[in-house]
Amino acid sequence: MDKKYNVVLTIAGSDSSGGAGIQADIKTCSALGVYAMSVITAVTAQNTHGVVSIEELSPEIVISQLKAVLDDITPDAVKIGMIPNASIARAVCDIIKEYGLKNIVIDPVLKSTSGFEFSLKETREVLKSSLFPLASLITPNIPESSQLFDLSPTNITSYFDNKEIFPFDILLKGGHGDDCNMVTDLLLMRNQNKPVCFSHQRVNTSNTHGTGCTLSSAIASFLAMGFDIEKSVDSAIRWLSCALAEGADYSFGSGYGPVNHIFKQIKQWKLK
């Protein structure tokens, strides 16, 4: 029998301004009707202009959070965002294996929208060698994809020619491309020989803080509902375009504001 509610676990950092990280993930899952559980890896102090400071949690408390929820509740999908250091990366790998977690979507958070570097070289090596191979889908933008995988929209054949080194699907997000009217995201899947292209209108807005977190948790939400990767990616991209478009009059702060995660709910519940 189909479950009435689906569950996503997000493992990510906290954003005090509420537009990215754990906060974006919980808002996204909730807006899409999925129950969100959250394991926090780091606390950032930030606003719409940038990150002021960051405190990494200990691997022990990350493991303790993970075990507490997983001993009780099995998520239908997992979204992984900020992994601030190699010890936490290793701890998350061990737990994924121990609990046999499935439908894992990783947003490789290297930098914030405002340019703050979140990930050091040693962490990136552990992510690449140990964490990414446990995922169903990784969602880098163009700079992340070239840094991590030496893949760009013009050389994606190296993905299809080297499937043994890419045991996961990749959504190469095109938002950093130079076409100011259209964005093309490329979904590279292990069981295909060419990419699936998602071309969509670029939404002209400065409220882009947390778009990566929001997209990856939307994909995890659709996977949790039982859709396949292609359908989940397609639905998440279309939903994010609406949340970006609806962000225009949802402006908080004077820097990069948030997307409007709750555009549907606001319309439904607006008090007269």
Residues at the interface with ligand PXL (CB under 6 A): 12-15, 20-21, 44, 46, 81-82, 109, 112-113, 210, 212-213
Specify the length of the chain in residues: 272
173 given a catalytic annotation = yes
Residue nearest to ligand PXL (CB): 21
Q: Whose Cβ is closer to ligand PXL: residue 54's or residue 63's?
A: 54
- Closest distance of CB 270 from ligand PXL, Å: 28
212 given a catalytic annotation = yes
Catalytic pick from 28, 208, 247, 257?
Answer: 208
214 given a catalytic annotation = no
Report how far residue 211's alpha carbon sits from residue 206's, in angstroms, rounded to the nearest whole number: 11
Per-residue burial over 233-264, b if 16 or more Cβ lie within 10 Å, else e, is bbbbbebbbebbbbbeebeeeebbbbbbbbbb
Catalytic pick from 18, 174, 212, 257?
Answer: 212
Structure tokens at 150: 């030496």
- Closest distance of CB 162 from ligand PXL, Å: 28
Catalytic pick from 210, 214, 247, 257?
Answer: 210
102 given a catalytic annotation = no
- Closest distance of CB 3 from ligand PXL, Å: 29
Report how far residue 103's alpha carbon sits from residue 264's, in angstroms, rounded to the nearest whole number: 26
Structure tokens at 141: 């933008």
Report how far residue 143's alpha carbon sits from residue 123's, in angstroms, rounded to the nearest whole number: 17
Beta strands, E only, 81-214: 104-106, 137-138, 169-172, 182-188, 196-201
Q: Whose Cβ is closer to ligand PXL: residue 213's or residue 229's?
A: 213
Q: Whose Cβ is closer to ligand PXL: residue 15's or residue 246's?
A: 15
143: left (phi over 0), alpha (psi -120 to 50) or beta: alpha
Q: Whose Cβ is closer to ligand PXL: residue 52's or residue 165's?
A: 52
Catalytic pick from 10, 18, 48, 173?
Answer: 173
Catalytic pick from 213, 214, 247, 257?
Answer: 213
Q: Whose Cβ is closer to ligand PXL: residue 42's or residue 66's?
A: 42
184 given a catalytic annotation = no
Q: What's the Cα-to-Cα distance from 256 to each of 17, 143, 181, 211, rounded to whole Å?
A: 11, 19, 20, 11
User: Which residues are identified as catalytic?
Assistant: 173, 208, 210-213
